Every structure is written in C-alpha cells, then in structure tokens.
Amino acid sequence: MYSFRTTGFNGYAVQYSPFFDSRLACAASANFGLVGNGRLYVLGLTPTGIVAEKWFDTQDGLFDCAWSEIHENQIVTATGDGSIKLFDITLNDYPVQSWREHTREVFSANWNLVEKTTFCTSSWDGLIKIWSPVRPKSIATLQPRDAPLSCTYAASYSPYNATLIASCSSDSYLRLWDPRVGDFPTNSVYAHNGAEILSLDWNKYRPDIIATSSVDRTIKIWDLRFMNRTSPSLPAMSNASPVNEMYGHNYAVRKIAWSPHASELLLSASYDMTARVWEDRSAFKQSATQPSITRLHHGGGLRGVWDRHSEFVVGCDWSLWGAEEWVCTVGWDEMVWVWDIRTVLR
C-alpha cells in the first residue's frame, strides 16, 4: 500500500487516469470545503511511494474531478463557487478553460466514456449541465419536472450509451435522462425512501444495472428495466424495487464505484471512516420480467473493510490498467491511500 498527505487540504475525490496506471488526480478543499481555497493534485505512483507531480490552487474548494477521455493531460474540476475549470497538467497555474453557469456548488463532474467529447456536471442548484471542452457555454441543461429542485449530488454517463445520464439527488430520486428526448427525466424511482442519495455508479459489465448509496447507510442495486417511464406531464411513480440491498456501513455511504474488472465487485467509501469491498450476489439472478430481490443482512455481501483512514472517507476508485485488485481512497484526514483489496478480503 502507498499513501500521500494532502497537507492543509481535505480530500473530496480521487480518480485514476484512463491513460496511465501510475497517475491519479485528487480534488481537495481547505477547511473541509466550508470556506477557503481548493487544490487539484496530480499524483504519480512510483516504486518508492506517491509523489505530487503537480498541483493547481483554486479560489474556492474542489468537490470533484474527472480526467478527459480524449486528452491525457486534461482534468475538469467541480468547484464550490459554481464554476467548472479545465486544467492542462503540461501548463502552469491557470486553467485552460473555465465556465460558470451553475448558481451553487458544483458537486460532481463526469466524462462521457462512449462519445468522449462531452462531460456533465451536477450541482446543489438541482441542475445537470452538459459541456464540451471547446465550447464557451453549456450544450444542454437538464432539470426535473416531477419535483421541486433539490441538490443533485451526482450525475454520470452510461458506459454503454453516449446520451444516457443517471443522477441522484437529495429528494431520494434516482433519475435517468436522455437529451435526445428532452430536458426532463425519462425514468425515475424513489430509491431510498426519502433519504438523500449521495452517489451512484453504472455497472461496467451489466448495462441495465446501477448502484446507489445514501445517508440511510445502505447500498442498493437497481435494474433499469424495472424503472418507470416518466414524461413532462406525468409525475414519477415509486413502485420499483431494488434487486439487492447491502447493509454494513455505520454512517452515510458517500461514494461507490463498481470494479472495471469484475461485474460483481463494488467499492464504497463512508462517513464511518472505512472503505469496504462488496460482492453483489444478485448478479445475473433476475429474470427479464420480474426482479428477484435480495436483501442481505448486516454485513451480507461484505468482502472486506479498509480502516486506515481517521476521518470521513469521501472518494474511491479502481485502477484501470494496473493490477485488477488495486484501488485508491481519499478522506477528510488529508490522506490518499492506494491499496490492494486482497489485503482485506475474507
């Protein structure tokens, strides 16, 4: 395992480069993101440990970052002042592009894995915006019509469909969007019974499967084939059920990430100061017409617990090109850890 201290800055997000297995990006904020500056770290993995290859300071805290899928040296950041900034790590000091349309904190940024020339952001203003690095303004703005605007904690492109976006919000809804249809959700489900949904991720091998995590301490697995269709004039229904529910964290589950190497493995980061590895035992059990619900007991499906952080764990990711079992986590304890899940598997 390897570690790096983001001295003076509390980590919020970490992501492996899609081009190099030895490079990470980390978004961090001073004073836990409440007030003060932000810093984007570019970290290199070496045989002797993790080194800071470069960093960029920002005037407000950073809450997320995403590597470009078309340019190996570019990273987009989500900022507390409502702006989005694109940095080129071959240049110094300043972003190569900056946008400011969100009216509140930008909490997530996600690059399109299929089409690769666009990315999306979500904000506490309740909106999702789609951007191109070469355009001065957003391409599209998406907002729910079935409920008042609420904080949209995360939005993420499908790894299979270039126009399909999933989002999760403080109103407990998981929503699907397709800008080709319109700026309203095409599907939605009341996913966590009123609890805020903090994170989501698409399964990399099963195109209809999404995981969500919430302040209710649970991780739920959803099959999109059983979600409800919505329209601008039809309120969202809420009768869909997850195909799996996993319990084990003691506090809110802040971030989840499916493995890019195994369809059943999931990594989570929580306010209980742990990161956990899970096995989704519902994989491939559901039929094409009716979901088979698997509610696992406390600890059911849990494969391992990483407890080296001493504060909230808020970010996690899997290595794409290196060994399949290596992951990274970041927390409010000013620590980035890179570790092998085999050290905690049981």
Query: What does the pLDDT look like over 241-261, one tens digit per residue?
Result: 899 999 999 999 999 999 999
Q: How far is CA 266 from CA 278, 317, 344, in A?
A: 5, 10, 14
- The domain spanning residue 266 has which CATH number? 2.130.10.10
Say how many Å lie between the first and final Cα of the chain, rounded: 18
Type of residue found at 16? Y
Please return the burial class of 262, using the count of CB atoms within 10 Å of its CB with bins 0-12, 13-18 and 19+.
middle
Q: How far is CA 289 from CA 176, 253, 285, 286, in A?
A: 20, 30, 12, 8
**Integer Cα distance of 265 and 112 in angstroms:** 22
Domain around 176: 2-343
> What's the number of domains the chain is made of?
1
DSSP character at residue 289: S
Nearest Cα to 219, choosing from 296, 110, 317?
Answer: 296
Asked if 188 and 145 count as a contact pair (C-beta separation under 8 A), the reply is no
Which residue ranges of the chain lie beneath pLDDT 70?
A: 146-147, 228-239, 284-300
**Integer Cα distance of 107 and 27 in angstroms:** 11
pLDDT at 240: 78
Tens of pLDDT, residue by residue over 320-333, are: 987 899 999 999 99
Geometric angle at alpha carbon 52, from 37 and 65, rounded to 5°? 50
pLDDT at 235: 46
Using the structure block, give the residue that is written with the tokens 């329209």.
231
- Pairing mode, strands 294-298 and 244-247: parallel
Nearest Cα to 333, choosing from 20, 15, 28, 19?
Answer: 28
